Amino acid sequence: MKLSRRKLLFVLGAGAAAIVAVALALLSHKPEQRPVQVGDPAPAFTGTAVRGGEVSLTHLRGHVVLLPFLDLRADTTENEPSRAQIVFLRSMQTQHARFGLRVVLVDAAELAGAGTQSRNELVNDAYDWNLDPAIAVLGDDGTLARRFGVDRPPTTFLIGRRGVVRERWDGFVPAAQLDLAIREREGRGATG
């Protein structure tokens, strides 16, 4: 069976179009990023804290780092886990700062559907929640949350002195559980 020149060009053109379509689909597909788990190196990041100063996970090596992703826009009148978690984070900062703990709080309001807050709004949140200036507050448009595989607040990471994730909590974490995990990373055990 002999194809006419016109039919041959049509078949070749259709084949080329199919190849281009498949190639574009493969190029535009973003592979699913696996959530950061216990034992994984924490993804490096650098940001500017809303009250000033650069925050770099690389520069925090040698310290135990508590990295919570919280919705700072969450309603204060409801039983909202992000708001409740803030109280315990303040307590951990107060109790463990002298042993080298650093707290870097990431606003994950974007993940909760509340939008990205401005720097001024985040500064107000830091003062409204009486956050110690040593607690670095970072805004996030969802980029940092995606790097850590966080899909909803609150999600909290405890990162060891060598930059490895030692704990990951998806959801609210009781103070006793936070305290024990931090003490273990500090090498102080359960009773100090």
CATH of the domain at 112: 3.40.30.10
Task: Identify whether residues 23 and 118 lie together within a single domain.
Answer: no
pLDDT per residue, tens digit, the chain (192 aa), is 565 777 766 666 766 666 766 666 666 545 456 789 999 999 999 999 999 999 999 999 999 999 999 988 876 666 678 888 988 999 999 999 999 999 999 998 888 777 788 888 899 888 888 888 999 999 999 999 999 999 989 999 999 999 999 999 999 999 999 999 999 999 887 654
Question: What pLDDT does residue 63 have?
Answer: 96
Question: What pLDDT does residue 183 have?
Answer: 95
Question: What pLDDT does residue 31 have?
Answer: 46
Asked whether residue 191 is domain-assigned, the answer is no
Task: Identify whether residues 173 and 109 lie together within a single domain.
Answer: yes
Question: What pLDDT does residue 43 have?
Answer: 96
Q: 3-state DSSP call for residue 127? A: helix
Tell me the torsion sign for CA atoms 9, 15, 21, 26.
negative
Task: Identify whether residues 12 and 60 lie together within a single domain.
Answer: no
Strands (E) in the chain, as ranges, are 46-48, 54-56, 65-70, 102-107, 136-138, 155-159, 165-170
Task: Identify whether residues 51 and 23 lie together within a single domain.
Answer: no
Task: Identify whether residues 142 and 66 lie together within a single domain.
Answer: yes
Cis bond upstream, residue 154 (ω within 30): yes
Q: What residue numbers bound the domain in which 26 lies?
A: 1-30
Task: Identify whether residues 101 and 62 lie together within a single domain.
Answer: yes
Task: Identify whether residues 21 and 106 lie together within a single domain.
Answer: no
Task: Identify whether residues 174 and 115 lie together within a single domain.
Answer: yes
Asked whether residue 38 is domain-assigned, the answer is no
Task: Identify whether residues 97 and 160 lie together within a single domain.
Answer: yes
Question: What pLDDT does residue 192 have?
Answer: 47
Asked whether residue 41 is domain-assigned, the answer is no
Question: What pLDDT does residue 103 have?
Answer: 96
Question: What pLDDT does residue 11 have?
Answer: 62
Domain count, the chain: 2
Task: Identify whether residues 19 and 91 lie together within a single domain.
Answer: no
Question: What pLDDT does residue 50 have?
Answer: 92
The Cβ-side half-sphere exposure at 112, using a 13 Å CA radius, reads: 23
Between helix 81-96 and helix 175-186 the angle, nearest 10°, is 40
